[in-house]
Amino acid sequence: MSRPVSSSLDKKKNIISLKDRRNSMEATIMKQLQKIVQQFPEEIAQMSKDSKGIYQSTDYKTMYREVQEAAAAFSSIGISRGETVGMIMDNRKEWLLCDMGLLSIGANDAPRGCDISSKILAHILGIPSCSTVVLENSHQLSKVLEVQADLPSLKQIIMIEAAEDETAAKASAYKLINWEDLMETGRKTLAESPSMIDEEIAKGQSEDTTTIIFTSGTTGIPKGVILCNRNYVYQVEAMLHVIDVTEKDTWLTILPVWHSFERVIQYVSALNGACLAYSKPVGKTLLTDLQSIQPTLFTAVPRLWDALYTGIYRNIKVKGPKAEKLFGIFLKIATKDEHYKRVLENRYPDYSGKAHPFLKLHALFGRLGTLPMRKLGDKLLFSKIVKKMFPKLRCGISGGGALQNMVDEFYSAVGIKVLEGYGLTESGPVISVRDENHPVVNTVGPVFVGTQVKVLDAEGRDLSPGERGVLHVKGPQVMKGYYNNPELTASVLSEDEWLDTGDIAVLSINDEITLVGRAKDTIVLLGGENVEPVPLESKLKESSYIDNAVVLGQDKKFLSALIIPDFDALEEYAKENNVMYENRTLIGEAPELVELINKEVADLVSPSNGFSSFERIYQFSIIQNHFEVGRELSAKMELLRPKIYEMYKKEIENLLNR
């Protein structure tokens, strides 16, 4: 079901122009929400599934009433201004109600998803001394019980879903409160004092802490990033300069709601009167929800955009060799036409400021041949793909990692606009996003209005556009610091509030950012050459036979790699080419398939693709299992390198000592 949009004359009178919204944000999240509720009381705020899997809608007036009830309920059980409450749950409407309920009374949260381990949970609840935690289900309660001795401050637990009797019996040391019972208490409290929550919201200040988000902690104890109202309200306002978010939009949300990227997207939606629809990054579920909700805006990590791209290709391949060949021809033409269009529209990053009239003239004449064929390809093929997957999508946003160039090119060619963004938890998280109306490729967009950036070399000198160095950022979205850790804060945040991102980047003359890699991930070869592994790994993943890759070579003569194959693609290749293999798990050991991977690696990481000779992958080992979130991958699908080095220590040693 696509979201209904109001069209009555009375509601049209309430609509504020986008220009006015950019300059009229309130100082806190909840004060801005109050304004939106007054303007769009009957617009849909949330769409979430009921127990039967059917989407149910909640308008802004109803959502705000539920937020007030949650706030009154939290207040009734002793939660006070400045207090930190743990929140362990996945994507569901109650998450936003809890979050905004706490913000309404000046409290804040320490959130995480249900995939958390008991060890990390102990850190997240223990470091800020949480006396209250909200848990999604009994499984999360069991984790709390495992680390009960490490949580001396914890006194009461709110259960979104009622705890199982056996688990509840073991939790006698805590006061267990069912969510529905708590909300009923909130309703009664609010009925007795209708203005109490509005009065509390009025006390809110821009510097009030809204959340403490703990990083994954792959190299030690998790770090608690402190973010405040100012950080989020600024991003909500700045986002409007690059993406026109209005009450007519519907966001499909699939990323973990506790994560900084998805969290700010929820605020961008709610504080501009748009609709949030909750889904999951699970193949069939997501595809069904895309058809049902028909979002205008959609956020995902690069891995998901890659999975959707792979799915499209597989569907084309199933239709037979002729269809696959025809699709390839039209895609090649559309990609060429898109290149010409970018040249004419100045949508490549400019590092020098020099004019290139001959390139534009070449592009102008080039489009005379490519544009008609692209339109034909769109009519015959591409428009059908777009209509099936994203019938109303205006643009998608990719964040949380680098979007592969091949995937980026594909979506542009077929007519799906994907805007790559950039940031980190410590920066609230968003620093930049490509402009919806002028997306410059090979960048993660221009920095937000009001944000400053600079690129420094190893000696701390400012570098010019086009020069590579470590990116530093300063702006209203940058964190207040790490919770109770001034030394660690000082290591990344200078006294004049410049944040060292640790990312290697290049700036254009228009302050568009091109990311190169992570400073701490840089590999230094024995000959002194510096290699950024991320671009190499991204290139390797362009192969339909490679699911993931880890480039290695610190202090070695040359580079090596761990290759994680796409087992489905290898199995399909083996069947088509009569390759014998013992079983699916050992398919990567078949000599013919090893040679196939070898050819893919050599062809992709080659001088013809812009790589230097020292960046060549000389040898590799095939890992016979998929990388998984929480094990080898972070929630953002990024490689957890320290864990990988430890988990595959034997394989790495054997590879590097060949």
Could you read off the pLDDT of 189-229 as tens digits, one per residue? 999 999 999 999 999 999 999 999 998 543 456 799 999 99
DSSP state for residue 576 in the 8-state scheme: H
Q: How far apart (Å, rounded) are the C-alpha atoms in residues 470 and 131?
A: 40
Please check whether residues 251 and 349 belong to one and the same domain.
no
The answer to whether residue 428 scores a pLDDT higher than 50 is yes
414: CB partners within 8 A, 6+ apart: 331, 334, 378, 382, 385, 386
CATH code of the domain in which 96 resides: 3.40.50.12780
Q: Is 542 a member of any domain?
A: yes
pLDDT for 403: 85
Residue 555: Cβ within 10 Å count: 9
Section 235-260 average pLDDT:
93
Q: Do the domain assignments include residue 424? A: yes
Say if 8 falls within a structural domain: no
Q: Average pLDDT, stretch 350-362?
A: 92
Which of 381, 416, 451 terminates a domain? The answer is 416
Residue 453 has pLDDT above 50, yes or no: yes
Using pLDDT thresholds of 50, 70 and 90, give the confidence band for residue 546. Answer: very high
Alpha carbon distance 134, 107 (integer Å): 14
Entry pTM: 0.84
pLDDT at 4: 43
**DSSP reduced 3-state for 428:** coil
Q: Residue 311: inside a domain, yes or no?
A: yes
Q: What is the pLDDT of residue 646?
A: 86
- One domain for residues 510 and 541: no
pLDDT surpasses 60 at 500: yes
Same domain, 334 and 435: no
Q: What is the pLDDT of residue 525?
A: 82
pLDDT at position 330 is: 98
Q: What is the CATH number of the domain that holds 527?
A: 3.30.300.30
Q: Compute the half-sphere exposure of residue 229: CA atoms within 13 Å on the CB side of its CA.
A: 24
Q: What is the pLDDT of residue 375?
A: 97
How far is residue 2's CA from residue 19's CA, in Å, rounded to a whole number? 27
* Tokens matching residue 221: 């104890």
Q: Are residues 64 and 198 in the same domain?
A: yes
**Domain end: 376, 397, 416, which one?**
416
Question: Is residue 19 over pLDDT 60?
Answer: no
Q: 243 vs 303, which has greater pLDDT?
A: 243
Establish if 219 belongs to a structural domain: no
Tell me: do 372 and 489 sit in the same domain. no
> Torsion angle, CA of 518/502/239/95, rounded to 10 degrees?
90
Q: Nearest 5°: CA angle at 205, between 199 and 210?
A: 100
**Domain co-membership, 296 together with 315:** no
234 in a structural domain: no
Please tell me whether residues 390 and 428 are part of one structural domain: no
On the CB side of 315, CA atoms within 13 Å amount to 12
Helix (H) / strand (E) element for 69: namely helix 60-76
Q: Which residues pair with 20 in a beta bridge?
A: none
Q: What is the pLDDT of residues 257-309, one digit of tens each?
A: 888 889 999 999 999 999 999 988 777 889 899 999 999 999 988 878 988 99
Q: Is the pLDDT of residue 572 over 70?
A: yes
- pLDDT for 23: 56
pLDDT higher at 246 or 574: 246
- Position 57 confidence tier, pLDDT thresholds 50, 70, 90: very high
> What is the Cα–Cα distance from 470 to 535, expressed in whole angstroms?
16
Q: What is the pLDDT of residue 2?
A: 55
User: Measured between alpha carbons, how far is 157 from 605 in angstroms, rounded to an integer?
Assistant: 53
Residue whose entry in the numeric block shows the structure tokens 């790994």: 537
Return phi, psi of residue 46, to 5°: -140, 145
Distance CA(127)–CA(484), nearest Å, equals 9
Looking at the chain, the whole-number percentage of residues with pLDDT higher than 90 is 72
Rounded mean pLDDT of 360-370? 97
407 and 320 co-located in one domain: yes
Is pLDDT of 527 > 80?
Answer: no
Q: Judging by beta carbons within 10 Å of its beta carbon (0-12, 13-18, 19+), is residue 357 exposed, middle or buried? A: exposed
| CA–CA gap between residue 133 and residue 435 (Å, rounded) | 39
If asked whether residues 322 and 425 sit together in one domain, one would say no
Residue at 210 is within a domain: no
Peptide bond connecting 429 to the previous residue in cis, omega within 30 degrees of 0:
yes
Same-domain pairing of 345 and 481: no
Q: How far apart are CA 587 and CA 581, in angstroms?
A: 6
Mean pLDDT for the chain?
91
Is 237 inside a domain boundary?
no
Name residues whose C-beta falls within 8 Å of residue 8's C-beta, 6 or more positions apart in sequence.
none
Q: What is the 3-state secondary structure (H, E, C) of 206-250?
A: CCCEEEEEECCCCCCCCCEEEEEHHHHHHHHHHHCCCCCCCCCCE
Within 13 Å and on the Cβ side, how many CA atoms surround 189? 21
Can you say how many angstroms the Cα of residue 130 is from the centroid of all Cα atoms in its chain?
A: 27
From 118-122, 425-429, 527-531, 558-562, the region with the lowest mean pLDDT: 527-531
Confidence (pLDDT) at 216 = 57
The SS3 call for residue 403 is coil
Query: In the predicted model, is pLDDT for residue 80 greater than 90?
Result: yes
Within 378-513, residue ranges assigned H as helices are 383-389, 405-414, 486-492
Q: Are strands 418-423 and 395-398 parallel, antiparallel or unpaired?
A: parallel
Q: Which is more confidently placed, 625 or 454?
A: 454
Contacts of 574 (CB under 8 A, 6+ apart): 580, 581, 587, 590, 592, 593
* Residues 511 and 626 grouped into a single domain: no
Token pair 């060292």 in the structure block, residue = 500
Task: Report strand pairing: 469-474 vs 481-482.
Answer: unpaired
The tokens 């026109």 sit on which residue?
244
Instruction: Work out how many domains the chain is built from and give that number.
Output: 4
Quick: pLDDT tens for 123-172. Answer: 999 999 999 999 999 999 999 999 999 999 999 999 999 999 999 999 99
pLDDT at 472: 97
Q: Which of 276, 300, 324 is the last residue of a domain?
A: 300
Q: What pLDDT digit, counting tens, does each position of 638-658 carry?
A: 888 888 998 999 999 999 988
Mean of the pLDDT values across residues 83-103?
95
Residue 563 in 3-state DSSP? strand
Letter string b/e over residues 170-209, b meaning 16 or more CB atoms within 10 A of that residue's CB: ebeebebbebeebbebbbebbeeeeebbeebbeebebebb
Domain boundaries, position 600: 522-656
119-123, 392-396, 601-605, range with the lowest pLDDT: 119-123
Mean pLDDT computed over 570-580:
87
Do 191 and 63 share a domain, yes or no? Answer: yes
